Every structure is written in structure tokens, then in C-alpha cells.
Chain A
């Protein structure tokens, strides 16, 4: 128990900070300890190689393997994350077919065997598989040199997975993870595959999926005491997050102007690439005549089509030329704006290689075949986070492998120098005691005076997945600087949470100008950028975004109560899992940049508040909070009430909430009520093609109340059913079939098979479908008409946006593990009726769709 407390209190080190210490001083204490980290830690260095590859849903061809010699032959630990090792179809989602896993594992093993450091005789240095983890198309393999295994340097190995795809839990999208310890340093490796597609909404969705993964990915490890302990992703000293994150290049910075985010316009891929290719040829490459176009994005009006079919070779481009594309990268931009959620605390090396998507399979050129062209994108990424004195990561190389051409992606690798440590605990406690006593002896009274403008904020109505922002000016009229942090009132009273982890903490640390006279605790030369990090690690990873130092990032996760209120967060426990989870829930809708900092004497500082409704939050009452601007160095809190009228929507409301609104559409639009699609029409679905026994329960209860399935889901499904049924009848009559949709659109996301202009249209359609459903208008009467594919995507997104998945995680895990039908059946029966109905109906619809498709194609 003692131990548990300790770990929770200060994830970095086994100590607890007394809750009576004001936040500003906790920060100073942490920083001081980290400055002295060298005194109580012994560092050991290893090389880690991370490689991510979207394998393109096929069995591997052996001659496509990479050679570790070409990447980092000296790596001590190799982590390989693959995505799409098999097709993401319904069958593969339910049963993990072993042959893919075996074949791809073999492919990786062969690639690694090329290492000259592991000659057949030197088994000591051989790379051995430590752990592998599979979820549908995701496969993560962790290798280490045998000597690290035999001397128990590597320990506490555990794995986990989380599906965030179909219905919010399917394994077609998601993440697998493996965690282990290297001495006293915990390392977690995550391989993720996020939602595809271009557009603002898709980007927000990807960011949501990252939050979900960070929340749900949990590892169970037996402690030496025998007690199992759960570790969440961000509780590890070092986290490697890699995979096909699917972030695209897009235009504009919708958050900058404080306006509602406009849907981002995809770049003109050909123009962009051509311009870069023609103006930044690598020396010695075959020269091309200068095109006269200097800007990578010559004009928004240049035609997309009718382009020169000449092959586009990106490998001849000077590495530095790619810099000009960074500003268009969704991930870099989101991190810069502090919207990256958990990824804000991560660092990425600079992208100095061509976008890794999308290439001709087995070819060298960017794919320009009609219908195959995509906006070029760095879909495949490797990011790392190292918080706390116990681990460090120094980026060595980040690149792509040109010659692995099996899929339309190219693999991305990143090699690091990893610092792990062992702690000298008695020395740590001794230091800690000394520091704490010094800090507690300082008097605590200082009047700060700050004014907030405006002093309250009421934002206009906002729909889920849209963003609004507003600037607040903090004015400090006194000569002394004031350190602040922004907290928000959480769901339950008496609980305040830090608002958001800012990625720009380091230049706002209060230490240098703190009114405390505590500078003697810190060496004069200390800067927050390299606190506690040995010289060689100090430069850390080169990152295009501002990086978070481990020293300060943690303090924002965990703030002590105001002076004299020791119980505010339980026992003042720092960064406990619960607090972190709630904090994330809050972060889902309100962000502040910076969320903490210092207002210098006689000056002003602008804080941008952004409301962005995402997963699980759309109840109007949750759009209200009071922000507390807490002065860290003195006893003063300033309140700022914030409200945002959140328009209720099908996205984000739970099944029970939807059922409550049975009589009216979610957002009652004038005159809309009369045009409801008739629910009884769906009776056809049961009668005609009989999706096995699905809907009769709903029909039974039709007259009574409550309706056992959300009517909005019913409308959506009924539209799909009727549209296809009508088409089938037309086809039968005219004798020709029009398979105008593809089931895989539904399973994989329609955007995978559509070209970018189509994606835009799809996003627009989805928005119109969503609004029509919210307002209770019939989908069939929309003008212009909407497609089945978009409707299916709305159903999918609805499933994802549920506050809790339709089916429990355990159930999905059973499926992933190939659990028995009995178990599944029992799990299904244990669901509340509306949830069960919804789930079975969707499954039946899918079954029916797949049957219809067969019928169509056969005809």
C-alpha cells in the first residue's frame, strides 16, 4: 500500500509530496529534484530502433524485407509496428487468422537476421522476440538482444490492445501495446492505426482516437509483492507511439482566427509535389528544367486534373525541401496549437524524408494513376515521450526505407539513444527531505493582483466536432511577475482539474522570476530545457514542435490543493489514474493555451480558450464550467465562468439519453416533426430479407414505451435498407445491377477507397445527414440526395461517439481472442435491451448488406 501511494504521488520517483505545499512550490521542488537527478540515479544507455509499416493488407513477399543493417544494426531493442497485415474485413475482425501473423513475424525476423551484430555463433547478442501483440491488422513485435533478457535487464513485460474502430470498439482501427522495464525505467511501445480520410472532422476524430487509446490502453503487471497493478499508457517513463496515424496535409489554421473551424481544403497534391520536386533536386540527380514555380503551392485555382502523367520521383528531392510542407501537416499543427491531446507531450524528429503515402505498389513513384491519387501525407510516424528523470530519448535518425515497396505506404523508422536508470533510493529521500524542509520554511503571503478581460465567457452554440475559441487577456498591473495555472471545475464539486497540458511550458516557468527566495535550491545555470538531463541527452530529439521537458509537464498533471485545503483531491495524490481520466474528459471540450505560465510585471498575456466538442460530451449541462485562474505563488484564485451552449446531437449522446428523447427530434427544428420517417416501414426489413430476428423486439414495443432502440439509429438504418432495396428492385426490373456501394466502405471507412475530392463530398454529406437526423428530417427528402456510404459512415461514427461502447470491452476482447460463441452470446444477453437491439440490428444490417452485395455481383 505504501508503495502504491508513492507511485501515484509522483510518477517519476517513489515519493509523495505533502498536500499542504502550494503548487508553485511543488513545481520548484520537482525541478530542484530533477536538477539533482544525477546524484541519485545511475544512467545506462541503449539504442532503440522503432519501425512502422502499413503492410497493405497482403501476405508478405520475402524479397520485400528490409535489412536492419541499412537502418541501425547496433540497436539493442527493436520494435516493429505493422498495420493492415490482413484485410480489414468482417471475417478478419472476428477471427484472427494466424497465417498472416506468422508470415509477417517471419518477415520481420528475416529482416532483423541481416544484422551483422548477431552472427550465428554470437547467440548472446542475438535479437530475440520479447513479446508480440496482435489486433486484427495490427501486429507489434518487440525484440531485444538476448543478453538483456538473460541478465534480467528487461522485465515486467506485458501487453494490451484497444479497438477504437467499428462502433467505437472494433479492432479495424486501434492500437496494440507492449510495456516493459529496463532497470528502473518503464518503457511502453504503442502501434496504432487511426481513422483515415481528409478533412477537419476526420482530423479531430483521429485526435479523439488518440485520447481514447491513451485512456483505455492498460497493462496489468504483477508487482514483486504479487499484487497486480494496472499501468496506463502515459504512466510510463518512456513511451514510443508509432503507426499509421493517418494524419494528412491540409490547408489553413482554422483555430487562429477565433472563428468556427472551416473544413480544411486538401492541397493540390500534384502541384505541391511537382513544385518541390522540380525546385529542390538533390545534387547529382538528373536535372530538370526549372519550372519557374517557386512556391510549393502555386495557386489554389490550378486544375487538379489533366496533369502531366510523367512519373513523380520523390526520392531525388533534397531532404531539407520537405520542411516547406511541415506547416500543412495536421499532426504538427495540432501539436503546435496544443490540440494534440496526449500527443502534446510527445516529441517527433524532423520530417526530412518524402511523404510515405501513397506510392505505386512495387514501384518507385508516387502513385498518380487516375482514381489512385491521394494528397501526399506523412501517415506513418514515430513519436516519443520521456517524462521524468528515469528515462530519456535522444533522436538519432528518422527516415523511410525506399526499397520496401510491397504496399502503397513506405516504412518509417526512427532510432534513438535511450537512457534508462537505476535509482539510489536512500539518497533520493535524503535530498527530498532537505528540499522540502527548506520550502516549507518560506513564508507564504504575497498579494497578487490580476485582472481578466472579459470576466465571463458565453460562447455561441456549438455542434459536436466543431470548434470555437476566444481570447482572454490577463493583466498584471504590479511590478512582480505572477505565475498562474488554469484549473476547471470538474463534474463533481470540490474537484478542480488542470485544464490542459500546454506544450509551451518551458518558457513560462516561474522559477527565474519567482518571488520566492529559493534560488539557492537551484544551480544558477539551470534552464528548464535540460533540467536533470545529462549533457549528452540534453539536446534530446530534434522536434519541429516545441517540446515539453519532463520537468514541468508532470506538474500540470497534478496540482496540489490551495494552501490549507489538503483534501481537495483525495489525499493530494498526484496524477492518479482517476484524476487523469477526468482531466481528459474535461479536456475533450475545453482547452486553454497556455494553460499555465507567468504574467510578467506590468504586462499582459493572452490566453486562448477553445471549445471543441468531441467524444462523449454533448449534454448541454456539460458545456458549463468555472475556470479558476490560480496564482501559484500566492493565495489568490480568480474565477472565470464559461458556458458554451452545446447543440445536442446524435453524436455523443448515450443510448439511454437518445431513448429519453423519443417523442421529439434531438434538436427540435420548426415544422420538422411532421416529416419523420415512419418507423413501421422498417417492418419490411424483418419481413423481406429477415435479418435474423432482429427487429421484432422493437416492433413489439412500438405501441408502448420506451422505444427499445434509438429512433435516430432506426432512421439511418431504414434509409440504408430502403435505398438499396429500391435499387435492387430497379435493377431486377431493368435486368442490370448497379452495385453502387461496397461493403468494405463501411468496414474500412469509405474514404479508403475514394479519392480526395470525393472525401470532401463525403464529409459534407455526413454533416448534412447528421443535422437532418438531429432535426428529425427524412433522409430520403434531402437535396442534393445523400448516399448509402455516407449514411453508413454516420452510423459508424455514431457508434464511435457513444459515451461508452455499445458492447463492453470484455466482449470485444473475447472476440479478439477467438472466444466461444457461448461467451459472446452470454455477453450479448447481458446488455440492456436498447443496446442489444442496436447492436444486433447493426450486425444484421451488415449481414444483409453483404448478402445483397453477393446477390448483386452474382447477377
Chain B
């Protein structure tokens, strides 16, 4: 509450990872959250939650990350996870042209559904495989610019660009006025008091 408090303020943001199957969403999260990499990461059949913080000046930005399944058949479940998100990382594989088209379609969906202040970051993963690149940096960067997206190329395997990606998102996120360093998961609006304080008879 107190802005002059010597303790750094913690703000919570929900972030969701989207993108086609096997572009490296889970690897990116694991690299960011645990600084680990598994060469043979199993496909995510479901969704997984993880947290990681980024320190930004006098405040700590705590990301609450939902990593989603990339397979097309589960696409209809994705809105459950991106609803209410403050940021979305849309990942494609620079060695796979189709995954870039997939990313575009995700971005279109997000833009249609989410409020305009949601930070969307387009991320080309697997730059360690530069030799097999199919999607040029210029092409992707141009697309990101046209659509007002953050853009970053990363390698979950080497870790290159991963930290920077999340730092940049943290900087771009709208500043929250409320302090929520109690921890936990009151992520979006604080709807606590609105409904139950004046309830009455249920008969």
C-alpha cells in the first residue's frame, strides 16, 4: 500500500503461451522458470501452470504462466487459459513456415477476443537451428511491427533471448496501481468484496 515502503512491490500478471505443436512452448517456459532444457520434452497434452519473477527497478513482476497444448484438436480449450491474461507469448518455429502461419492465426484470434492493452509477443524459437531457418527475421519483424507486437527470436536450448523476452514483456505491461504482495492468485480484478458482502436470504 505504502509507496515509500523500502520493500520491493510485487505485481502479478497472468501470461499464456500459445502456438502450434512442437514449436517449443514448454521448453521456453522451463528455460525461463527453471533454467533447464530437455532435449526430448514430451508433448503437452493438457495445460501446465508455473510461476517466475522478473525484477524491474523497484518492483517484482511475478508471471503466472499457463503453458498450453499446441495440438489443433485442443484449440477449442485455449480460451480458458488466455482469458484474463495480461500478456500472451505466441511462439513459432523458425525452421517451420507453417508454424509461422499458425502464429498469425493465434494472433488474429487474440486480437479479436482480448482487450487491446494485452501485451502480445511474437516469438521465433529454435534460433540454434539457424541452418534450417525458413522464416526470415525480417519477415517476422515486419509482421510484428504492422500488428504492434513485441518481437523476439529465442533459443530455449541455449537460453538465448529467453530472459530478454520476459524482461521486455514486463516493461511493456501496464503499471498496476494496486499492491498485491500478499502472494497467491488474485490475479486479475479484485472482485472479492463485490458480491458477498451484502448478500441475504436464499429462500
Contact = CB atoms under 8 A, between A and B. Distances in A.
Contacts of A571: 191
Given A15-B196, A441-B182, A494 B46 contact: no
Contacts of A562: 47, 49, 66, 80-81
A20 B188 contact: yes
A13 B76 CA distance: 34
A20 to B, nearest CB: 5
B185 interface: yes
Contact of A445 (B51, B186, B200): B51
Contacts of B3: none
Given A564-B14, A567-B83, A567-B84, A436 B192 contact: yes
B202 A489 contact: no
Max chain A Cβ within 10 angstroms of own Cβ: one of B51, B81, B203: B203
Contacts of A628: 46, 77
Given A441-B184, A443-B183, A566-B84, A636 B48 contact: yes
What band does the interface of chain A fall in when counting residues whose beta carbon is under 8 Å from B?
A: 35 or more
Given A562-B81, A626-B77, A639-B46, A6 B195 contact: yes
Interface string B78-119: 011101110000000000000000000000000000000000
A782 interface: no
Nearest to A181: B203
Interface string A472-507: 000000000000000001000110100000000000
Interface string A427-440: 00100100010001
Describe A's contact surface by its main secondary structure.
loop
Interface residues of B, number: 40
B201 interface: yes
A444 B183 CA distance: 9
Given A445-B51, A563-B187, A565-B81, A184 B195 contact: no
B187 A639 contact: no
Interface in A1-22: 2-3, 5-7, 9, 11-22
A304 interface: no
B4 interface: no
A156 interface: yes
A16 B196 contact: yes
B80 A496 contact: yes
Contacts of A17: 196
B203 A566 contact: no
A184 B80 CA distance: 37
A444 B185 contact: yes
A634 interface: yes
Given A6-B200, A455-B45, A636-B49, A561 B80 contact: yes
A20 B187 contact: yes
Given A20-B188, A496-B80, A626 B73 contact: yes
A568 interface: yes
Contact of A13 (B74, B85, B202): B202
Interface string B28-70: 0000000000000000011111110000000000001010010
A568 B80 CA distance: 6
B188 A441 contact: no
Contacts of B199: 2-3, 5-7, 14-16, 425, 429
A638 B46 contact: yes
B83 to A, nearest CB: 5
A637 interface: yes
B69 A639 contact: yes
A628 B81 CA distance: 13
A635 B65 CA distance: 10
A39 interface: no
A566 B188 contact: yes
A441 to B, nearest CB: 6
Contact of A440 (B49, B186, B202): B186
17 contacts: A5-B195, A6-B199, A6-B200, A15-B196, A18-B191, A20-B187, A440-B182, A443-B183, A494-B79, A561-B80, A562-B49, A562-B80, A563-B64, A564-B85, A635-B49, A635-B66, A639-B74
Pairs of residues from A and B, 6 with the lowest C-beta to C-beta distance, nearest first: A635-B49, A6-B199, A16-B195, A14-B199, A493-B76, A494-B79
Given A6-B199, A562-B47, 11 more contacts: A5-B195, A9-B196, A20-B187, A429-B197, A440-B184, A442-B184, A494-B79, A563-B187, A565-B84, A635-B50, A639-B46
Interface of B: 14, 45-51, 64, 66, 69, 73-74, 76-77, 79-81, 83-85, 182-189, 191-192, 195-203
Interface of A: 2-3, 5-7, 9, 11-22, 155-156, 181, 184-186, 224, 390, 423, 425, 429, 432, 436, 440-445, 455, 489, 493-494, 496, 561-568, 571, 626, 628-629, 634-639, 641
